[in-house]
Amino acid sequence: MSALPSNVSDTVRRMNPTVFGGGLAIVPAETGETKAAMKLEKELQRLCEGILRQRGIEFLHLSPFAREHKGYADLTFPRPGDGRFVAVELKSANGRLSEDQKRCLARLTKCGALCFVIRSFTDFLKMLDDWTTGAVTAA
């Protein structure tokens, strides 16, 4: 496995024990969940982008301010091997898709994209690794 970043928060480490070792998955408390969830999603975004860079996979991440359409996926990239379009929405453990995000993922799926909602770095790594074995299917 590629070297993992060392500057990862304790919460993300606990939510991804198979990647970082130790602890059980911790779900953010309901109080203040929005800010905590956004922070976790931002860190998950950074980790996912880092592993895509390490594996030489070109990706696109548009900030919410640069997106023309509400609800567009957090990460898009070509699937290694066949180049099929992949759209990934990153969410915290109990983050919910907005109606705009649901509509966007449905439209992309209808166009032939592989669309995923990823809730942990472990899940993202598994998705990438399963492609090398042919075990992944879009959700």
Domain boundaries, the chain: 10-133
CATH class of residue range 10-133: alpha beta
DSSP string, 77-136: EEPTTT--EEEEEE--TT----HHHHHHHHHHHHTT-EEEEE-SHHHHHHHHHHHHHT--
Give 3-state DSSP helix, strand, coil % of the chain, rounded to 5: 40, 10, 45
Which neighbouring-strand residues pair with 85? 78
pLDDT at 66: 63
pLDDT in tens, 25-70: 333 334 445 777 778 888 999 999 999 999 999 999 887 666 677 8
Whole-model pTM over 0.75: no
